[in-house]
Structure 1
Amino acid sequence: MPVRSAWLINRTTTDTGQSRTDTRLAPTGTMAPTGALTSTSGIIPGSKDGRYVMDALYVYGDTAGMTANVAPGRAVIQGPAAAGAYPVVLTDYTQITFDDGDANNPRVDLVLLRVYDAQFDPVSGRTEAVLEILKGAPEPNPTPQPVPEGALALAQVTVPAGASVGTGGLDWSKAVYDMRHTTVAAGGILAESWNRDTKGGYTGQYRDNATQLQRWDGTRWVSYPRHIGGIAPQGTLANGEYVGQYRDEGGKLQRWDGTVWRPVVPATGWAYNNDGGYCKSVTWVETIVDTTGPGISTSFTTPVSGAVLITVGYHGSNPLDTGWSRMSVNVRLNGAVVVPADEQRAAMATGKMGMSVTHTFRVTGLKPHTVYDAVGAYISSATSNNAWLDNRFIRVDPML
């Protein structure tokens, strides 16, 4: 089998051991680390015309049957920590043959590029680099065996129950699941692969996930800021990359506050109820009685100025000529009142004659890019005055 590994055994005869060619073909040098003495196992990226991430060690079938092909290529395989990483090369296209399927259940086999080293694994008694198939257990819902130490998984191959050359072999268009992933020299940028859940090896490592550059921050891959000072196009960013970044979301401009996207130009807040009721409380309350909608409120997001205009209004009347009613709002943040209702910030209806009244007032000093609630508040001139309020509304407009 044309599988070679540099630094595995010395060349002691004309037929075995490391040759000069092995040394030239096998990847050597310090690869992307995963620890003080360990490296990231993986395949060296690259393709003949540069169109693909990698051509190397691709597993495929091109004829009916149980035999697949493995393309030549180079890889690095981390063995036990004390053993180090083995540079490995497959120099020619190589065929591998799968056992026939179980009579009753499917199984999932692994195609491995593996290094045996008797110096660190005397039980095996082997010292060689090989391509091998790790046969899975036949089960109704099969899973592959764990990848052994000193091995690199190239592909999963599903072998259906009863599969054999006589029954047509494997459907290669569906049987193979590619498991290859890349590795590069220390300081290099990892190429996109199909194993995107692989953790970084050190803080400050970079990878290219096929759409953007990402940096490992010690716990996760963070997209490198691509739009500093610009606006990220719609659909390109689920999370912001830095506080103050902007994106286009459905034609609306949003700003990343470090946790969530906030609208840069907030929409108007609006709430209303057109079913009448009355209030006879002489202190501010947030509900009225004898109505299907006792309270109204609207949420709003503050602009960068932290200032808004609030308008309240209703159609009011009183049973007494001297009676009056007022409507204002309590501005709440996470449930707590930060701007209370007040007669200076209220619409007022006086006397028996029904009238429509409104009042607009400015609220400043709010936290920018923060969600508040404007909750309707009501008061009557006396407990004997059942002040009637109908068609109540609240409108909140941002001040930029």
Structure 2
Amino acid sequence: MPVDVWAIDGLAFSGLETRNADSVFVMGNGSALGSRSGVRPGDPGLTVTLAGTTINCSAGVALVAYPGQGVYRAAFPSSVSPGTYTAAHATLTRIDLVYLRVWDSSVDSTGLYKGDIVYLAGTPSASPVAPTPAGTQIYVPLATITVLSVAAGSTATVSTVVRPFTVAPGGILPASSAPTGLYVGQYYDDGTGLLRWNGTNWRQISPYTPLYQPQVSQPSSFTPGTYTDFPSGNWPTLTFTVPPSGLVWISIGASLQNTNSATSTGWVTWRASGGVTEASSEANGLSTYGSRNYGTRRVLRSWTPGASVTLTPQYLFSSVGALSTVTRADNGLLAVEPVATA
């Protein structure tokens, strides 16, 4: 069926035709003619603040998409106030919503054609959640306001976490979760690094920064016969988050010596605790046998993505002699190298 193509002289364009044509300039959402609503990254506009109980929203621009209606471009040249927030409940906390709404009577049958900033009070609850605007509303959330109960002090705080960002097609989207409308070569930044969609999964592009914890000193003495934690003052622990790939290289190295006898052994190892548990063993340690060993042991681990793991350096000597000249574990280094998603 023929359509009016933007922009050809002599043609008349409806608002819907114009909004649909504008969709080509906006990041898609995975549906035909669909777009992603939001404000521009790095734009301080449309920031919600409080002055006492009065809600204010600064000047700014946003894009509001609605299924089958293309994209509405809204610009507020000056600050706007949707009023004051509702008084605190006596004993329960409440979460309110502030959002940018577009009234288009051809869609919502309100008889209105305008844009505005709207305040919507939530429901007080022991486990409060932000409200969702009812009915057919064309909107994009800008902020939530958490209002503590009177018993808790009646204070109110603003959060802009709910406010989405949008970018032009091919732009790098800053977002806490992956965007929709995936295509090979798409990028987004989850706050910890840049990721690229390869057609199957998101691959970490920005190189991870290795984490390391050097040994500070040797203990005043070594306890023989069992795996023993280095005192934190001698060799601190190392805590990290397992990357999305679940893979990490872990290295431990030291100047290791045990010449107390021809068969005396010495180990430096690590144990894992927290979101993952692994004990010290031959599988993750560096050893010496009646001599000296200046080296590093590097192992690959596959653990739960997102788990917080603490590595604690340990030692094991079968017997001990004079510190440093006979039995020694110093100049140590414990390091973690996260592996990017393949």
TM-score (ref. length: structure 2): 0.52
Query: Structure 1 CA distance, aligned partners of 2:119 and 2:257?
Result: 64
In the other structure, the counterpart of 1:60 is 49
Could you say which residue in structure 1 is the equivalent of 2:235?
Answer: none
How far is 1:90 from its partner? 1.6
**CA separation of 1:28/1:298 partners in 2, compared to 1, >3 Å: closer, same or farther?**
closer
Is residue 133 of structure 2 the alignment partner of residue 175 of structure 1?
no
- State the alpha-carbon separation in 1 of the partners of residues 23 and 154 from structure 2: 37
Separation in 2, partners of 1:108, 1:36: 31
Aligned residue pair count: 230
Separation in structure 1 between the aligned mates of residue 143 and residue 26 of structure 2, nearest angstrom: 22
What's the counterpart of residue 58 of structure 2?
71
**Residue type of the alignment partner of 1:261:** W
1:101 & 1:161 partners in 2: Cα distance?
Answer: 9
Deviations 1:249-271 (A, max 9, x none): 2249xxx998231428699799x
Q: Does 1:260 align with 2:240?
A: no
Whether 2:135 is the aligned partner of 1:155: answer no
Structure 2: state its 5+ residue gaps. Answer: 1-5, 7-13, 216-242, 259-279, 291-297, 302-316, 320-342
User: How far apart are 1:87 and its partner, in Å?
Assistant: 1.8
Do the aligned partners of 1:101 and 1:161 also contact (CA within 8 Å) in 2?
no
Task: Please state how far the C-alpha of 1:89 moved relative to its aligned partner.
Answer: 1.6
* One-letter amino acid matched to 1:177: S
**Is the Cα–Cα contact under 8 Å of residues 266 and 302 in structure 1 kept in the other structure?**
no
8 Å CA contact 2:65, 2:72 repeated in 1 = yes
Q: CA deviation at 1:119?
A: 3.0
Deviation at 1:121, TM superposition (A): 3.5
1:196 Cα offset (Å): 1.4
Highest RCO, 1 vs 2 (Cα 8 Å, sep ≥ 6): 2
Overall identity of the aligned pairs, in %: 27
- Once the two structures are superposed, what CA deviation does each residue of 1:328-363 show, in whole Å capped at 9, x if it has no partner? xxxxxxxxxxxxxxxxxxxxxxxxxxxxxx9xxxxx
Q: Does 1:137 align with 2:119?
A: no
Partner of 1:215: 196
2:25 and 2:169 in contact (8 A); partners too: yes
- Look up the match of 2:177: 197
* Counterpart Cα distance in 2 of 1:43 and 1:139: 30
- Contact kept? 2:31, 2:181, Cα under 8 Å: no
SS at match of 1:42: coil
How do residues 347-386 of structure 1 correspond to structure 2 at under 5 angstroms?
369=299
Contact 2:55/2:85 (<8 A) preserved = no
Compared with structure 1, are the counterparts of its residues 57 and 218 closer, same or farther at alpha carbon in structure 2 (3 Å cutoff)?
farther
**For 1:61, what is the secondary structure of its paired residue?**
strand
Q: Which residue of 1 aligns with 2:96?
A: 109
* 1:93 aligns with one of 75, 79, 82: 79
Whether the 8 Å CA contact 1:112–1:151 is kept in 2: the answer is yes
Q: Which AA in structure 2 matches 1:153? A: P
User: SS of the counterpart of 2:62?
Assistant: strand
- Cα offset, 1:181, TM superposition: 2.9
Pair 1:298–1:39, CA change in 2 (3 A): same
Alignment of 1:293-312 (within 5 A): 298-301=281-284
User: Structure 2 vs 1, CA of residues 99 and 71 (structure 1 numbering), >3 Å: closer, same or farther?
Assistant: closer
Decide whether aligned partners of structure 1 residues 79 and 215 sit closer, same or farther in structure 2, where only a CA change above 3 A counts.
same
What is the CA–CA distance in structure 1 between the aligned matches of 2:127 and 2:204, rounded to whole Å?
A: 37
Q: Which residue of 2 aligns with 1:327?
A: none
* d(CA) in 2 for partners of 1:217, 1:146: 35
In structure 1, distance between residues paired with 2:87 and 2:122: 11
Which one-letter code corresponds to 1:158 in the other structure?
A: T
User: Is the 8 Å Cα contact of residues 177 and 190 (structure 2) preserved in structure 1?
Assistant: no
- Deviation track 1:74-128 (CA, whole Å, cap 9, x = no partner) reads 1111212x22222222221111213532553442210011223333344x45443
Q: C-alpha separation between the residues in 2 aligned to 1:392 and 1:160?
A: 60
Q: Judge conservation of contact 2:81–2:117 (CA < 8 Å) in 1.
A: no
Displacement after TM superposition at 1:141 (Å): 3.5
| 1:15-65 Cα shifts (integer Å, max 9, x gaps) | xx98xxx99xxx8752111113211111023xxxxxxx2211001123x3x
- Separation in structure 1 between the aligned mates of residue 69 and residue 24 of structure 2, nearest angstrom: 15
Alignment of 1:228-377 (within 5 A): 237=209, 247-251=210-214, 259-263=247-251, 298-301=281-284, 369=299
Cα deviation, residue 182, structure 1 = 1.6
| Alpha-carbon separation, structure 2, partners of 1:116 and 1:269 | 77
Query: Shift in Å at residue 177 of structure 1?
Result: 1.2
Which structure has the greater CA radius of gyration?
Answer: 1
